[in-house]
Amino acid sequence: MSGKPFLALDASIMDAKEHHEAIKLDVELNRISFEFPGGLSTIPLIEECRALNSLDDFDLMYDITMQLLTGKPVRIFLKDYKGDKHLVAEFIVTDRNMDLRGVEFLNSFPVIVNWLAQFVADMLSKKYPRPSEGELQLTAQEKKKQKAKTPLNTK
């Protein structure tokens, strides 16, 4: 024997999965908040452009998040069912490659890191809203109509 712990999985791992997903969604949408008392770091414009083209790419958004937070304090709060906020983690991001496993709360609940990156993606999409596909089509149609109305300048 190699001394590694034995692990066996079966269908019981799926027990109460829907219940756990409902709790997780409630926490994500209603009970978790992130505060950045020192604001966010300025990152190169090209990095924000990369992010705007890949808001659903976790790896890229995690990298952008860590760049924005480098040298900045982060506070994570959980709201209880009475509405009271409780500080569950406070740390300073030392560099973009910082291992967040050193933050006990994040080590225990790594999904919080996913939410942090997603919240930053949402913040960027609101900061730099992109037109919807329908708006882009309308704009293209309006340009075509405008060109059709404008007489050609010939000399």
pLDDT in tens, 70-129: 999 999 999 988 889 999 999 999 999 999 999 999 999 999 999 999 999 999 999 888
In a domain, 54, yes or no: yes
* Rounded Cα–Cα distance for residues 44 and 7 (Å): 45
In a domain, 93, yes or no: yes
In a domain, 11, yes or no: no
Q: In what order do the strands lie in the sheet with 32-35?
A: 32-35, 73-79, 85-92
Whether residue 64 contacts residue 96, with contact meaning beta carbons closer than 8 Å, is answered with: no
Number of structural domains (the chain) is: 1
Domain around 32: 27-148
**What pTM did the predictor assign?**
0.71
Q: What backbone phi and psi angles, to 5 degrees, belong to 121?
A: -60, -45
In a domain, 1, yes or no: no
As a whole number, mean pLDDT of residues 140-149 equals: 72
In a domain, 36, yes or no: yes
Give the pLDDT band (50/70/90) at residue 151.
low
In a domain, 35, yes or no: yes
